[in-house]
Amino acid sequence: MPAVGRAIMAKILVCVAWPYASGPRHLGHACSTFIPADVFARYHRMRGDEVLMVGGSDMHGTPTTVRADEEGVTPKEVADRFHALHTKNIEQLGVRYDLYWNTAAEDHKKWVQDIFLSLRDQGNVYEATMTSPYCTTGNHFLPDRYVEGKCPNCGFERARGDQCDNCGHLWDPFELVDPHCRIHGTPPVPRETKHFFFRLSAFEEPLKKWMASGKERWRNHVVTFTQSWLREGLRDRPVTRDLDWGIEVPVPGYETKRIYVWFEAVMGYLTATKEWFKLHGKPEGWKDFWYDPEAKHVYFVGKDNIVFHTIMWPAILMAYDPKLDLPADVPATQYLNISSERMSTGHGHGVWLSDLLERFDPDQIRYYATVTMPEAKDTDFTWEDFAQRNNSELLAVYGNFVHRALTFADKNFAHEVPPAGFLDAADKAMVRAIEDQWKKVGQNLEYIHFKDAIKEAIQLARLGNQYFDQKAPWDLVRKDRAACGTVLHVSLRVARSLALVLAPFLPFSSQRLWNALGYDTDIHAQRWEEALEDVPAGQRLRVGKPLFAKIELEAAGPAAPDAGFDVRIARILEVKDHPNADKLYVLTVDYGAGTRDIVSGIKNDYAPDQLRGRTIAYLLNLQPARLRGVESRGMLLAGEDEKVVGLVLPPDDAKVGTQILGVAGAPELPFAEFQKYKLRVGEEGRVYFLGKAEEVRIPLKAGDAYLKVDKGLKEGTWVH
């Protein structure tokens, strides 16, 4: 019984955008790539389709080299560390890739070089001289992210040399307003350098033709964005760059250059398919997926990646071999905002997946990611919303319904599924609702509408609750035991269907529910159609804990007095005099995920040499302010009495970046709001955080050691 009139098995390649191995991933990333791809793949596996889901970490992006420069380690060290973290987080989140690979793998490199050479032989990759930004302060070329400046399109201040993170527009570095070297801060000069270019311009017409047909089901914003790009006209693009990190250019004379990451990472969808088949002893098997015109390739990417998947990659495929399959759909998401600023790993602002996974059930994260998924427009993340959707929907509607049905049957019917007797109109309506909702969930999943799909699944649980309340089995059990058994039977049948239709979304809790209903099998090996089947009478129940825990805001977010803060250990890198104020310094601090400038009034109390290299307690999420013409971002914590100012000092061995108060990615805090909270010196110079009404008293600690205030400030002194 196919959901949307499609009975034949399909071949589906699920392609997931390659996350940079340059930092932890945030919830926005999971919402746009991992989770939708996984839901889609799980659903199609249940439908019996032949699914292959591939992707991996992008090891070669400049975010990785930028971070390595900041940390003083090799790019490989950074890439390996974050590839391992991504791999772990993906597994914890229940995202089931067939192959989670990485672009530093030897086979990937080799196959990319093959494609490169083949494109060069055809003339679609050619050599030319270009002008690149060069930093004369540090004597280095400045590939993409090494240049920052103001976006001419949207005015975003920290646009990169290749792309604006805010509006997604692609740039040449010299098109930015006031471009400067990210490391040295000085403006670059143009310098000539030889590179290979991809003849993208030659594919403008073929791409226009391709976009003009069969895109009716694509998301509107993806089509609009792509078409506006095509209207602007396509220019050839460099495919090599001056950098020593990445895949070697297999041409003599190019030893100091590497293949550009935009060019090689997208090839990963093809190389990862090849690798999977190679690992499974069928080295030619990939062709079944790439040369079958009926195979569907679906690409899960974020908004800033659209153009690479609807223009660049299709053009490369057309050039390399016109018989290869082009994307069938690119259901890109918009952004998930946190306090309206986009969560971005590059700027140390986000709700990190690794943090969330430590604190919450993965299905709670997956549920929220799905119901709030920015499918058509940007959406906002708030902790309140996260807790509320969990408590009032996942727990109160779904978790509550199945728990009521299970525990009631368990208690009153000898731990077994009672038999169904005569079905009255209400019982029959409930059974019909299973099929109705199942159809709606399937239809929405076919059309890649995840939000609506999960809503229809939860609606089935809502109907289940109504049915349960209406039938009131707690009364019925005394009046008409057989009728009560029927109600429980039907309710458990609904629970069984819920486990199956929610399995693509909530894999862990679905398995738990499946087991509680008495099944020993792997729910993920079941077929989608089985959601319509009945639960066998007499099957032994194994009722455990409720499926979901309540999320208390104290544990989740700003309702907790300290969670509105993001205080970390930072190191002072540079101390300069404020250009317009005698009593102020401008300090450059490294907070572990980046560097920032802060303006600070401690000039009378600390000489520059007492500050350089020192670790401090740094409030990261203070709203930026201009102080006498210099932008200050965040502040250091210090105690102050009438005479002196004393820094709050971490223990000697504290690591830069360690969270000491609140949560990473807490929303921006206006200064007036910050002032309502109090920090105070306690016994032995320890520093305590107090709530607005001093209702809590939390010592500031790094690991097991307390942070203390400098200069022997007395107990009771205020810290700010």
Q: Footprint of Zn ion on this chain (CB under 5 A)?
A: 135, 137-138, 151, 153-154, 156, 164, 166-167, 181, 183-184
> Considering beta carbons, is residue 135 or 477 the nearer one to Zn ion?
135
Least gap, CB of 204 to Zn ion (angstroms) = 24
Pair of tokens at residue 253: 């004379």
Least gap, CB of 322 to Zn ion (angstroms) = 35
> Considering beta carbons, is residue 153 or 407 the nearer one to Zn ion?
153
> Considering beta carbons, is residue 128 or 177 the nearer one to Zn ion?
177
CA angle at 286 for the pair 280 and 291, rounded to the nearest 5°: 160
Least gap, CB of 597 to Zn ion (angstroms) = 17
* 3-state secondary structure (DSSP) of residue 589: strand
> Considering beta carbons, is residue 166 or 273 the nearer one to Zn ion?
166
> Considering beta carbons, is residue 164 or 660 the nearer one to Zn ion?
164
Least gap, CB of 248 to Zn ion (angstroms) = 24
> Considering beta carbons, is residue 305 or 465 the nearer one to Zn ion?
305
d(CA 511, CA 506): 9
Contact 321, 121 (CB under 8 A): no
d(CA 616, CA 592): 12
Handedness of CA 611, 616, 619, 620 (dihedral sign): positive
Contact 102, 161 (CB under 8 A): no
Of 96, 112, 90, nearest in space to 14 by CA: 96
Of 404, 388, 108, nearest in space to 247 by CA: 108
> Considering beta carbons, is residue 154 or 414 the nearer one to Zn ion?
154
Least gap, CB of 131 to Zn ion (angstroms) = 17
Taking the CA atoms of the chain, what radius of gyration do you get in angstroms? 29
Q: What share of the chain is helix, strand, coil (3-state, %, to 5)?
A: 40, 20, 35
d(CA 79, CA 57): 8
> Considering beta carbons, is residue 65 or 102 the nearer one to Zn ion?
65
In 551-644, DSSP assigns E strands to: 566-577, 585-590, 595-600, 615-619, 625-627, 630-632, 635-636, 638-640
> Considering beta carbons, is residue 141 or 408 the nearer one to Zn ion?
141
Contact 367, 336 (CB under 8 A): no
Least gap, CB of 188 to Zn ion (angstroms) = 8
Contact 211, 229 (CB under 8 A): no
Least gap, CB of 191 to Zn ion (angstroms) = 13
Least gap, CB of 287 to Zn ion (angstroms) = 41
Q: Which run of H or E residues covers position 27?
A: helix 27-29
> Considering beta carbons, is residue 138 or 699 the nearer one to Zn ion?
138
Least gap, CB of 570 to Zn ion (angstroms) = 23
CA angle at 614 for the pair 608 and 618, rounded to the nearest 5°: 105
> Considering beta carbons, is residue 151 or 261 the nearer one to Zn ion?
151
Q: Which run of H or E residues covers position 63?
A: helix 62-71
Kindly report the backbone phi and psi dihedral angles of residue 394, in degrees, each rounded to the nearest multiple of 5, phi listed first. Answer: -60, -45
